[in-house]
Structure 1
């Protein structure tokens, strides 16, 4: 019995020497991480986000510096001398690796590079206009509630019940003369209900939160509660959705341009417009459709990858 007691005392002494009792339970002060900070830690190790961000960044840089990167201008018929009955669409040659864009003899590579700027302008402006319209409707519905919420959301439901491309087509045909601005307006109107519904849902969540209830109990005005507390805390999902909608806007702009509802002036090339012009040469030169279609798919794919990664990273349920 004494031997067992001595053994227990020895073990206790050893444990006491190994650990400093006053320091037990102490947690090192490493600082906290915000939602954005923790999201960035995950995003920079996420290969899906890195691929999407790389494609998006290259597309934006290409669009910004398109006039400098294009080897030739997009409206001069450099290869018109090569056009003949046996060679209606000149192929690649020295200085013109992708050949001509058709019987007009213009450089296809230069028009692809210059077309990236018009595609980006249409996509960004349409998304921004749709975002602004959605912010207005979503803020009214989410902050006021009651009959205002009912009216706004019924209009939104009607717009969402129609396929987006059909709605954009209907809006674009209302204008007498197609142009780049009619394209932007048509796509923006299609995007408004998406942002409005998402913002309204986020604001309804904020309206029942503790800090908003406390502000109301203190007598803070409704406008101050809406614009200082509810709206800023509801914009995160909406901004992430804007990244995804931008990819959709580029595809829809290309579809409307393909149908002849975009800018009729082909001296300012746009990928959807180039795709529409290529259909008359599809039997003899399918490459004229392959290159602009491939550019549209790759860019939309990049925005989609980046947007989906942002959505998952900023979701508080995914924090670890």
Structure 2
């Protein structure tokens, strides 16, 4: 009678090899799961990223305070309740006291209230400068990336010339051309420096989209070139541009503060702005350094918030970082 028959037979060498092969085959089995969109995958990474959460928290607090600042400021920014305590020789800048958390400036105006209201002006300049720069960059980048040829060459040479100048120097030159400095001259100057950044970035994304499968399929089906550009190429090329806009907000805030510090911003002190407050504080930098410390600290923290959020968005949307 054969010993290898029956329920109690011992496994042979071939049986063990077969079991090992089956185990290796089942170990690499891929579980069938539903696919995830790019935005959903990016959000799942961002909500677990402490860097993004810190940046988003700073940005959210800044935006909320900028919106509601006129209603929560304890004093009117044009009033000078501590003017009677200003002594040019002995006490040029009144310090903190009950009802005045950070004290007052050299004109007796409440410093805390001016910081709160100044956040709104800083937000307005940063947002509008970035939006105008984004609009101009999208226009030039779409023309260069969609049409190509001579138009692409002309647009890119203009962009190269603009990028050859330091951004702050170019903004300073444009702002100084205005007959009278104002908030809008500041916005236009900063927006002009951001146009070539968005244009070059969008143009590169558009060129990558021109050779993609969905664009080639649309052309083979006879879709009009205008529809291909606005329905297929441009929407799919906007991802990196939106991320860059978040980073450009931080740059816009810093450049706006620098130009206001140099006296090229809004000269009306009834509408305080952090860069303007820095410029006014330089007269008392040795006696009262806190006049410059508080607005400078606000600028640094807000710019850091936008930078952290933008860098986290860039990493989350980058396919190479998701491997």
TM-score range, shorter chain: over 0.9
Cα separation, 2, equivalents of 1:231 and 1:119:
31
Which residue among 247, 250, 253 is the counterpart of 2:256?
253
Which residue among 38, 42, 47 is the counterpart of 2:41?
38
Aligned residues: 313
Cα shift readout 1:51-82 (whole Å, capped 9, x = no counterpart): 00000000000001101221111110110011
Cα separation, 2, equivalents of 1:3 and 1:232:
72
Moved more, 148-157 or 211-220: 211-220
Cα separation, 2, equivalents of 1:151 and 1:157:
10
| TM-score (normalizing by structure 2) | 0.92
| TM-score (normalizing by structure 1) | 0.93
Partner of 2:103: 99
Partner of 1:175: 178
Cα separation, 2, equivalents of 1:24 and 1:285:
70
Per the alignment, in what secondary structure is the counterpart of residue 10 of structure 2?
Answer: helix
Partner of 2:130: 127
Partner of 2:188: 185
Partner of 2:92: 88
Per the alignment, in what secondary structure is the counterpart of residue 8 of structure 1?
Answer: coil
Cα separation, 2, equivalents of 1:3 and 1:58:
80
Q: Assess, with a 3 A threshold, how the Cα gap between structure 1 residues 220 and 293 changes in structure 2: closer, same or farther.
A: same
Per the alignment, in what secondary structure is the counterpart of residue 11 of structure 2?
Answer: helix
Cα separation, 2, equivalents of 1:187 and 1:269:
19
Cα separation, 2, equivalents of 1:49 and 1:259:
33
Across the aligned residues of Structure 1 and Structure 2, the Cα RMSD in angstroms comes to 2.2
Partner of 1:266: 269
Shift of 1:319: 2.1
Q: Assess, with a 3 A threshold, how the Cα gap between structure 1 residues 51 and 207 changes in structure 2: closer, same or farther.
A: same
Per the alignment, in what secondary structure is the counterpart of residue 88 of structure 1?
Answer: coil
Shift of 1:28: 4.9
Cα separation, 2, equivalents of 1:177 and 1:24:
73
For residues 27-176 of structure 1, the aligned pairs below 5 Å read: 28-84=31-87, 85-102=89-106, 104-176=107-179
Shift of 1:254: 0.3
Shift of 1:217: 1.9
Cα separation, 1, equivalents of 2:201 and 2:46:
23
Cα shift readout 1:259-302 (whole Å, capped 9, x = no counterpart): 00000001000000000000011111010000000000000000
Shift of 1:12: 6.4
Gaps of at least 5 residues in structure 2 are none
Partner of 2:205: 202
